[in-house]
A = this chain, B = another copy of it.
Amino acid sequence: MSPCYRLIISCPDQVGLVAQVSQFIASHKGSILEADHHTDLEQKWFFMRYEIDAAKLTLNLADFRNQFAPIAQKFQMQWQIHDVSIPKRVVLLVSKQSHCLIDLLHRVQEGELFCKIPCVISNHEDLRKIVEWYGIEFHHVPIESAQKEAGFTKIENLLAQHNAEVIVLARYMQIMPHHLCQKYAGKMLNIHHSFLPSFVGAKPYHQAYARGVKLIGATCHYVTAELDQGPIIEQDVARVNHRATPEDFIRLGRDIEKNVLARGLRYHLEDRILIQGNKTVVFA
Protein backbone atom coordinates (compact mmCIF):
# COMPACT_ATOMS: atom_id res chain seq x y z
CA MET A 1 0.00 0.00 0.00
CA SER A 2 1.32 3.40 -0.90
CA PRO A 3 1.57 6.03 1.84
CA CYS A 4 -1.68 7.73 2.68
CA TYR A 5 -2.61 10.72 4.82
CA ARG A 6 -5.88 11.77 6.36
CA LEU A 7 -6.66 15.45 6.57
CA ILE A 8 -9.50 16.41 8.93
CA ILE A 9 -10.78 19.96 9.10
CA SER A 10 -13.57 21.86 10.80
CA CYS A 11 -13.97 25.63 10.66
CA PRO A 12 -16.44 28.44 10.03
CA ASP A 13 -17.93 28.08 6.56
CA GLN A 14 -16.55 30.46 3.94
CA VAL A 15 -16.46 30.72 0.16
CA GLY A 16 -13.26 29.35 -1.30
CA LEU A 17 -12.41 26.87 1.44
CA VAL A 18 -12.56 23.73 -0.66
CA ALA A 19 -10.81 25.48 -3.51
CA GLN A 20 -7.84 26.45 -1.36
CA VAL A 21 -7.49 23.11 0.36
CA SER A 22 -7.83 21.05 -2.80
CA GLN A 23 -5.55 23.44 -4.68
CA PHE A 24 -2.90 23.04 -1.99
CA ILE A 25 -3.08 19.25 -2.26
CA ALA A 26 -3.12 19.17 -6.05
CA SER A 27 -0.21 21.60 -6.33
CA HIS A 28 1.88 19.14 -4.31
CA LYS A 29 0.76 16.18 -6.43
CA GLY A 30 -1.54 14.69 -3.83
CA SER A 31 -4.34 12.55 -5.18
CA ILE A 32 -7.62 12.46 -3.25
CA LEU A 33 -8.83 8.93 -2.63
CA GLU A 34 -11.85 9.69 -0.53
CA ALA A 35 -13.42 13.08 0.13
CA ASP A 36 -16.20 14.06 2.50
CA HIS A 37 -17.64 17.49 3.06
CA HIS A 38 -20.39 18.70 5.28
CA THR A 39 -21.72 22.17 5.79
CA ASP A 40 -23.92 22.77 8.78
CA LEU A 41 -26.04 25.53 7.29
CA GLU A 42 -27.59 26.44 10.61
CA GLN A 43 -24.32 26.85 12.49
CA LYS A 44 -22.49 27.96 9.34
CA TRP A 45 -19.78 25.47 10.11
CA PHE A 46 -17.78 23.39 7.70
CA PHE A 47 -16.36 19.87 8.09
CA MET A 48 -14.15 17.89 5.80
CA ARG A 49 -12.11 14.71 5.66
CA TYR A 50 -9.75 13.77 2.85
CA GLU A 51 -7.84 10.57 2.31
CA ILE A 52 -4.83 11.58 0.27
CA ASP A 53 -2.68 9.20 -1.74
CA ALA A 54 0.77 10.39 -0.75
CA ALA A 55 2.71 8.23 -3.19
CA LYS A 56 3.57 11.17 -5.43
CA LEU A 57 3.10 13.85 -2.80
CA THR A 58 6.06 16.22 -2.82
CA LEU A 59 5.68 16.91 0.91
CA ASN A 60 6.37 14.74 3.90
CA LEU A 61 4.09 14.97 6.90
CA ALA A 62 6.18 17.60 8.70
CA ASP A 63 6.38 19.76 5.59
CA PHE A 64 2.68 19.38 4.99
CA ARG A 65 2.00 20.59 8.50
CA ASN A 66 4.27 23.58 8.10
CA GLN A 67 3.11 24.68 4.71
CA PHE A 68 -0.57 24.09 5.34
CA ALA A 69 -0.52 26.06 8.60
CA PRO A 70 -1.08 29.48 7.00
CA ILE A 71 -4.20 28.27 5.17
CA ALA A 72 -5.44 26.71 8.38
CA GLN A 73 -4.88 29.93 10.23
CA LYS A 74 -6.56 32.04 7.57
CA PHE A 75 -9.74 29.98 7.81
CA GLN A 76 -9.54 29.47 11.60
CA MET A 77 -9.44 25.72 11.13
CA GLN A 78 -9.31 23.06 13.76
CA TRP A 79 -7.37 20.48 11.84
CA GLN A 80 -5.34 17.33 11.98
CA ILE A 81 -3.35 15.31 9.53
CA HIS A 82 -2.51 11.67 10.16
CA ASP A 83 -0.32 9.11 8.52
CA VAL A 84 -2.77 6.26 7.94
CA SER A 85 -0.07 3.64 8.51
CA ILE A 86 0.44 4.59 12.17
CA PRO A 87 -2.00 2.68 14.37
CA LYS A 88 -3.68 4.54 17.20
CA ARG A 89 -2.99 3.22 20.70
CA VAL A 90 -6.24 1.97 22.24
CA VAL A 91 -6.69 0.93 25.86
CA LEU A 92 -9.76 -1.17 26.64
CA LEU A 93 -11.50 -1.01 30.03
CA VAL A 94 -13.71 -3.96 30.90
CA SER A 95 -15.46 -5.50 33.88
CA LYS A 96 -16.70 -9.10 33.80
CA GLN A 97 -18.66 -9.29 30.58
CA SER A 98 -16.62 -10.64 27.73
CA HIS A 99 -18.66 -10.20 24.55
CA CYS A 100 -17.47 -6.72 23.51
CA LEU A 101 -13.89 -7.44 24.55
CA ILE A 102 -13.59 -10.68 22.60
CA ASP A 103 -15.30 -9.13 19.61
CA LEU A 104 -12.85 -6.21 19.55
CA LEU A 105 -9.78 -8.38 20.12
CA HIS A 106 -10.80 -10.62 17.23
CA ARG A 107 -11.43 -7.70 14.91
CA VAL A 108 -8.07 -6.18 15.77
CA GLN A 109 -6.28 -9.48 15.26
CA GLU A 110 -7.96 -9.97 11.89
CA GLY A 111 -6.94 -6.50 10.79
CA GLU A 112 -10.50 -5.25 10.56
CA LEU A 113 -9.82 -2.63 13.21
CA PHE A 114 -6.43 -1.07 12.63
CA CYS A 115 -4.96 -0.12 16.01
CA LYS A 116 -2.52 -1.19 18.71
CA ILE A 117 -3.86 -2.36 22.07
CA PRO A 118 -1.06 -1.84 24.61
CA CYS A 119 -3.15 -3.15 27.50
CA VAL A 120 -6.55 -4.02 28.86
CA ILE A 121 -7.59 -2.74 32.30
CA SER A 122 -10.30 -4.36 34.39
CA ASN A 123 -11.76 -4.06 37.86
CA HIS A 124 -12.02 -7.85 37.90
CA GLU A 125 -9.70 -10.76 37.15
CA ASP A 126 -12.21 -12.72 35.06
CA LEU A 127 -11.02 -11.77 31.60
CA ARG A 128 -7.26 -12.01 32.19
CA LYS A 129 -6.82 -15.34 30.44
CA ILE A 130 -8.38 -14.47 27.12
CA VAL A 131 -6.61 -11.11 27.01
CA GLU A 132 -3.25 -12.70 27.66
CA TRP A 133 -3.98 -15.38 25.06
CA TYR A 134 -4.06 -12.56 22.55
CA GLY A 135 -0.62 -11.51 23.82
CA ILE A 136 -1.89 -8.33 25.45
CA GLU A 137 -1.03 -7.03 28.92
CA PHE A 138 -3.83 -7.25 31.45
CA HIS A 139 -4.04 -4.98 34.48
CA HIS A 140 -6.38 -5.69 37.34
CA VAL A 141 -7.29 -2.40 39.01
CA PRO A 142 -10.03 -2.93 41.59
CA ILE A 143 -12.43 -0.04 42.07
CA GLU A 144 -13.62 -0.37 45.63
CA SER A 145 -16.34 1.95 46.75
CA ALA A 146 -14.27 3.27 49.63
CA GLN A 147 -11.21 3.87 47.49
CA LYS A 148 -12.41 4.76 44.03
CA GLU A 149 -10.00 7.65 43.76
CA ALA A 150 -7.01 5.39 44.32
CA GLY A 151 -8.24 3.04 41.62
CA PHE A 152 -8.73 5.75 39.07
CA THR A 153 -5.36 7.29 39.83
CA LYS A 154 -3.85 3.92 39.03
CA ILE A 155 -5.82 3.79 35.79
CA GLU A 156 -4.74 7.29 34.88
CA ASN A 157 -1.11 6.29 35.38
CA LEU A 158 -1.53 3.17 33.27
CA LEU A 159 -3.11 5.22 30.48
CA ALA A 160 -0.20 7.63 30.60
CA GLN A 161 2.44 4.91 30.70
CA HIS A 162 0.92 3.23 27.67
CA ASN A 163 0.44 6.48 25.78
CA ALA A 164 -3.24 5.80 25.35
CA GLU A 165 -4.69 7.77 22.47
CA VAL A 166 -8.12 6.18 22.60
CA ILE A 167 -9.99 4.65 25.54
CA VAL A 168 -12.83 2.22 25.01
CA LEU A 169 -15.21 1.37 27.82
CA ALA A 170 -16.21 -2.05 26.56
CA ARG A 171 -19.00 -2.68 29.07
CA TYR A 172 -16.91 -1.20 31.90
CA MET A 173 -19.39 -0.93 34.73
CA GLN A 174 -17.80 2.02 36.51
CA ILE A 175 -18.49 5.72 36.12
CA MET A 176 -15.36 7.57 35.00
CA PRO A 177 -14.34 10.54 37.16
CA HIS A 178 -14.86 13.98 35.66
CA HIS A 179 -11.22 14.87 35.27
CA LEU A 180 -10.58 11.75 33.18
CA CYS A 181 -13.62 12.52 31.02
CA GLN A 182 -12.16 15.94 30.39
CA LYS A 183 -8.60 14.76 29.88
CA TYR A 184 -9.73 12.29 27.22
CA ALA A 185 -12.59 14.34 25.81
CA GLY A 186 -13.43 13.12 22.32
CA LYS A 187 -11.13 10.14 22.81
CA MET A 188 -13.08 7.97 25.21
CA LEU A 189 -15.82 5.82 23.73
CA ASN A 190 -18.50 4.03 25.68
CA ILE A 191 -21.11 1.49 24.66
CA HIS A 192 -24.39 2.05 26.46
CA HIS A 193 -26.85 -0.80 26.34
CA SER A 194 -29.91 1.22 25.42
CA PHE A 195 -31.18 3.33 22.60
CA LEU A 196 -30.24 6.68 24.14
CA PRO A 197 -31.71 8.97 25.33
CA SER A 198 -34.04 6.22 26.56
CA PHE A 199 -33.00 4.35 29.68
CA VAL A 200 -30.04 6.30 30.94
CA GLY A 201 -28.13 4.79 33.86
CA ALA A 202 -28.26 1.34 35.41
CA LYS A 203 -30.01 -1.80 34.12
CA PRO A 204 -31.36 -0.32 30.89
CA TYR A 205 -32.63 -3.68 29.60
CA HIS A 206 -34.71 -4.09 32.73
CA GLN A 207 -36.00 -0.55 32.28
CA ALA A 208 -36.85 -1.34 28.67
CA TYR A 209 -38.60 -4.54 29.68
CA ALA A 210 -40.64 -2.72 32.28
CA ARG A 211 -41.74 -0.12 29.73
CA GLY A 212 -42.77 -2.76 27.20
CA VAL A 213 -40.83 -1.45 24.22
CA LYS A 214 -40.89 -3.38 20.96
CA LEU A 215 -37.32 -2.56 19.96
CA ILE A 216 -34.20 -2.52 22.11
CA GLY A 217 -31.01 -0.74 21.22
CA ALA A 218 -27.45 0.17 22.00
CA THR A 219 -25.55 3.42 21.66
CA CYS A 220 -21.86 4.16 21.15
CA HIS A 221 -21.01 7.65 22.37
CA TYR A 222 -18.14 9.77 23.57
CA VAL A 223 -17.91 9.97 27.33
CA THR A 224 -18.52 13.33 28.95
CA ALA A 225 -18.88 14.31 32.57
CA GLU A 226 -22.64 13.95 32.41
CA LEU A 227 -23.62 10.26 32.49
CA ASP A 228 -24.77 8.87 29.10
CA GLN A 229 -25.16 12.39 27.68
CA GLY A 230 -22.12 12.62 25.42
CA PRO A 231 -22.14 12.95 21.62
CA ILE A 232 -23.72 9.91 19.99
CA ILE A 233 -21.56 8.13 17.41
CA GLU A 234 -23.66 5.15 16.40
CA GLN A 235 -26.85 3.35 17.39
CA ASP A 236 -28.76 0.30 16.38
CA VAL A 237 -31.80 -1.68 17.47
CA ALA A 238 -33.29 -5.16 17.44
CA ARG A 239 -36.89 -6.26 17.60
CA VAL A 240 -38.32 -7.92 20.70
CA ASN A 241 -41.79 -9.24 21.39
CA HIS A 242 -43.93 -10.14 24.37
CA ARG A 243 -42.15 -13.47 24.74
CA ALA A 244 -38.77 -11.90 25.39
CA THR A 245 -37.70 -11.91 29.02
CA PRO A 246 -35.15 -9.47 30.46
CA GLU A 247 -32.60 -12.27 29.88
CA ASP A 248 -33.57 -12.36 26.19
CA PHE A 249 -33.17 -8.59 26.03
CA ILE A 250 -29.67 -9.00 27.44
CA ARG A 251 -28.82 -11.79 25.00
CA LEU A 252 -30.15 -9.91 21.96
CA GLY A 253 -28.57 -6.74 23.23
CA ARG A 254 -25.10 -8.25 23.29
CA ASP A 255 -25.14 -8.60 19.50
CA ILE A 256 -26.22 -5.01 19.04
CA GLU A 257 -23.64 -3.76 21.54
CA LYS A 258 -20.79 -5.60 19.86
CA ASN A 259 -21.64 -4.37 16.41
CA VAL A 260 -22.40 -0.80 17.40
CA LEU A 261 -19.21 -0.48 19.43
CA ALA A 262 -17.11 -2.03 16.68
CA ARG A 263 -18.57 0.35 14.10
CA GLY A 264 -18.11 3.34 16.37
CA LEU A 265 -14.51 2.44 17.12
CA ARG A 266 -13.75 1.87 13.45
CA TYR A 267 -15.09 5.32 12.61
CA HIS A 268 -12.92 6.80 15.35
CA LEU A 269 -9.77 4.92 14.31
CA GLU A 270 -10.26 6.01 10.72
CA ASP A 271 -10.78 9.64 11.77
CA ARG A 272 -14.31 9.62 10.40
CA ILE A 273 -15.87 11.39 13.38
CA LEU A 274 -15.85 15.15 13.88
CA ILE A 275 -17.41 16.42 17.06
CA GLN A 276 -19.71 19.42 16.84
CA GLY A 277 -20.95 20.52 20.23
CA ASN A 278 -22.82 17.56 21.61
CA LYS A 279 -23.25 15.95 18.21
CA THR A 280 -21.09 14.11 15.75
CA VAL A 281 -20.50 14.35 12.06
CA VAL A 282 -19.69 10.78 10.99
CA PHE A 283 -18.27 10.37 7.50
CA ALA A 284 -19.17 6.68 7.40
Q: A: which residues have CB within 8 A of B?
A: 13, 15-16, 18-19, 22-23, 25-27, 29-42, 56, 98-99, 102, 106, 110, 112, 133, 195-199, 211-215, 217, 231-237, 241-243, 245, 251, 254-255, 259, 262, 276, 278-282, 284
Contacts and interface: CB of A to CB of B under 8 A. Distances in A.
24 contacts: A15-B26, A15-B30, A16-B26, A18-B35, A22-B22, A32-B37, A33-B39, A34-B243, A35-B39, A36-B37, A40-B242, A42-B245, A102-B102, A195-B198, A195-B215, A196-B211, A197-B199, A212-B232, A213-B232, A214-B232, A214-B233, A214-B235, A215-B236, A241-B282
Given A15-B31, A37-B32, A37-B35, A284 B241 contact: yes
Contacts of A276: 242
A110 B106 contact: no
A235 B213 contact: yes
Would you list the 9 A-B pairs with minimal beta carbon distance, nearest first? Answer: A212-B279, A16-B26, A35-B37, A19-B22, A18-B22, A19-B26, A242-B281, A19-B23, A214-B235
Contacts of A26: 15-16, 18-19
Contact of A278 (B212, B217, B235): B212
